[in-house]
Structure formats: structure tokens, C-alpha cells
Amino acid sequence: MPRIRTDQPSTGKPVLLFIPSTTNNGFVGSGWTTIAEAPDFSIPTSGDEGVVVDPGDADRELRPGEIFIETPLAVTHVSGATAWVEAQIVLQGNSGQSIPITSKVPVPSGETCYLPIQGLRLLRELVVIAATSLTSANNGQQYEISSIGTTDFTLIGAATNTAGTVFTKSGGTGSGTGKVLVAGFGGRLQVRAEVSDALKIIGTAVELEASDHAPDTEAP
């Protein structure tokens, strides 16, 4: 799951939506490919009660985030016969539930079409639960150790009993006073095409916090 460290307030971080050249030579593949995912943010601690402490740094806290799609997604057909492209969103969390947001849009050879996804907002919320809430019904789902307390997380799937460890739940019911952050992922935007060597995409978005902080200046 994306996590952005930032040390000062800002209005947001612009990002490009595209398939990198290292993935299928930059073409939209025939299988679903994630091009955007909502992050969460690690910021210096505010000292407020009830905040979610960054499991990797006790002097920082986590804030929920989102990614806002600013423009239509431009799809250019480089060569070959007309081919379709479509897009979906995958909801936050471990469920993998997806929702179509476009139909299969045909793109003629040599032309550019636009998927009207501007205004779409994908969210990444922070959900912290007690280790004792994890039962065998949660096996196979991912969690991040938020606080250890008296819990031995290695008994329910973690490789190490360390805050910040992401693990896949296994075994029985958790015990003790520890807590976990639901890992999984934030909301995702995905695309796929009829063929895997013809279509390229480009669009713009902004990563935002759900607070007055955003990743204009990222911490090392």
C-alpha cells in the first residue's frame, strides 16, 4: 500500500497516470493493470488524542488519503485494427470488489479517445482493530501491526512481532492488547485492453490528504 511521508502542509501532489515502459513496453495489457491507488500519509505527530501512530515511527502519525482524477484518460491507438479499452475501480480493502466505470470503448487505429473519468475520487481510510477481533474468518487477509501490546502476532501469521510488519492472517483468534491496521490497499483505478500491444494512456491526478497536510515536501 502506498505511504507518503511529508513534513509540511501543501495542497496536494500532482501525478501522471500512465503505463511505464518497464510494464508491457508502456502498452495497456489485456489483463487488469492498476494505474492509480489512493495512499495514506505519515506526518509529524500532532499530539492529539485518538490519532493512528505510524507503526514505523512513533514520532509520526498516519492520515487517510485520496487520489483525485483531474482529467479524462486519453487512450491512443498506436497501430493495428480497432481495439477496445475499459476501466474499473477496485474498492479499498481486502475484498477485491470491483465496479465497472466505463464500457468497452473502441479506439480506431491512429486515433485518440478519452475515457470520461475526471472527478473520480479513490479513498484510503485508516481502520485500526484489536488483535482479539481477528479470528479464523479473517485468514488470508492482510494486516499491519500497529501496536504490539501483549500480543504475539507470530502466532497468527506475522514473521516478526514488530510494529510495522505487514502479514497475512492465519491460525486462530488473536489475543492480548495489540492492534492492527487493516492493510490491503486503498481504492484502485485499473484499465485493460482487447489486445496488449496497441493502446497507450495518459491522464493526470492529485494525491491529497484528508487534512491540512499533503506531500508537497516529502520526508526522506
Give the model confidence (pLDDT) of 118-143 as tens digits. 999 998 878 888 999 999 998 988 88
Is residue 134 in some structural domain? Answer: no
* 27-37 pLDDT tens trace: 999 999 999 99
Q: From the CB of residue 9, how many other CB atoms can be counted at a distance below 10 Å?
A: 13
pTM for the predicted model, two decimal places: 0.76
Q: What is the structure's pLDDT at 214?
A: 45
Is residue 101 in some structural domain? Answer: yes
d(CA 207, CA 54): 19
Domain extent at residue 11: 3-125+186-209
Q: What is the structure's pLDDT at 94?
A: 60
d(CA 165, CA 204): 32
CA dihedral 10, 49, 179, 132 (to 10 degrees): -140
Q: Which three cell numbers stand for residue 102?
A: 466505463
d(CA 166, CA 34): 21
Beta bridge partners of 179: 130, 147
- List of residues 6+ apart from 127 with CB closer than 8 A: 181, 182
Q: What is the structure's pLDDT at 26?
A: 96
Is residue 161 in some structural domain? Answer: no
Is residue 100 in some structural domain? Answer: yes
Count: domains in the chain: 1
d(CA 114, CA 72): 6
d(CA 76, CA 127): 39
DSSP tag of 8: S
Is residue 69 in some structural domain? Answer: yes
Is residue 136 in some structural domain? Answer: no
Is residue 94 in some structural domain? Answer: yes
Residues in the chain, pLDDT under 70: 1, 8-11, 93-95, 183-185, 210-220
Residue whose grid cell is 496488449: 196
Is residue 60 in some structural domain? Answer: yes
